[in-house]
Amino acid sequence: MSDFCFADLTPDTVLDALEELGMAIDSGLTALNSFENRVYQFRGELAGYPQIQRWVVKFYRPHRWSLQQLQEEHDFTRELLAADVPVVAPVSLDGQSVLPYAGGYFALFPSRGGRSLETDNEEQLAQLGRFLGRLHQVGKSKAFQYRPAFSVETHLQQSRQVLQQCPQIPSHMHTAFFTVLDQVIAEAANQYQPKALIRVHGDCHAGNLFTDQQGPFFVDLDDCRMGPAIQDLWMMLSGERSDQLLYLETMLEEYQQYCDFNPAELKLIEPLRAMRMTHYMAWLARRWDDPAFAMNFPWFATDKYWEQQTLVLKEQLFQLHQPPLSLQPGF
């Protein structure tokens, strides 16, 4: 397909794409919080889906995922839905859920309302643990063929190369920043040695989790990859180590009703945190030419941000040298 100019994706272009599908649109477009893709909510009617009145349309950023990788995400989502895992899945039109338009791809989802998950609510964490156990039960049934894995190469080494070329890092801070970054990368790479990789949500944090009267549900599997099971658990842990252990055990008590958990994966939490931190900085650097990023992340180009990141990396290096979390007997 020809290159899709993401910057030219105006609301009128989105409406044109929807109308070509036969969508009768009853409202304007409301932009949702997404920087990687372009996501809008609206009201409309579509033949074959009379039960859906509120929709979400997602236009995928070109060149991030291939058609095969997008299809694997959608197929995985439908597998989860078929296994009664509460996830918002894309709809299919004539058997196709990855929809082409103007050289790019988009997808339609039913809009499901809910409140943000409370990460310190034990009842909600227990429900989340149950659903993650079921998600991973499906996830380990087979592997992705096209989607990549969480790896030292993708999240640390490639990110390091991007940051080395990043003009937003002040030249007078290069020595301090890259000295500690290289130490973090070396230690995280040494510790990140997962024994088993399964299909995981990949970005399981409170911003991608909602709850309603039926309990928590998952949205946005855009970052699903092959990874260790702990990847979908560790971002829900916050506070002191005692709090983190309480939250983890609350989730695992329900999780292990559906899927076994290997406690050895607890030693992957801090390397995974280091990988996420490094990958996030590189993501901002990669996307800086997109006007939306300079507008919404102006602090990325300031000395203060890089001074803070240098300190954060020093703290992460300290954490990498601490003993990992350890479950109480019986888990």
Residues with a known catalytic role? 203, 220
316: amino acid identity, one letter: Q
DSSP codes, 210-271: EEETTEEEE---TT-EEE-GGGGTGGG--SSHHHHHHHHHHHHHHHTTTS---GGGGGGHHH
Q: Which residues, other chains included, contact 184 with Cβ-Cβ below 8 Å and sequence gap of 6+?
A: 274, 278, 313, 316, 317, 320
Tokens linked to 23: 């969508």
Is 220 one of the annotated binding-site residues? yes
CB 128 within 8 A of CB 209: yes
Q: Which helix (H) or strand (E) holds 24?
A: strand 24-25
Q: Among 46, 12, 17, 45, which residue's Cα sits nearest to residue 29?
A: 12
Is 222 one of the annotated binding-site residues? no
Partners of 181 in beta bridges = none
Q: Which residues, other chains included, contact 36 with Cβ-Cβ below 8 Å and sequence gap of 6+?
A: 61, 64, 222, 287
The span from the first CA to the last CA of the chain, in angstroms, equals 51
For 306, counting Cβ atoms within 10 Å of its Cβ (0-12 exposed, 13-18 middle, 19+ buried), the class is buried
Main-chain dihedrals φ then ψ at residue 7, nearest 5 degrees: -65, -25
CA distances from 303 to 93, 232, 277, 279 (A): 49, 33, 18, 19
CB 262 within 8 A of CB 230: no
Binding residues for Mg(2+): 208, 220
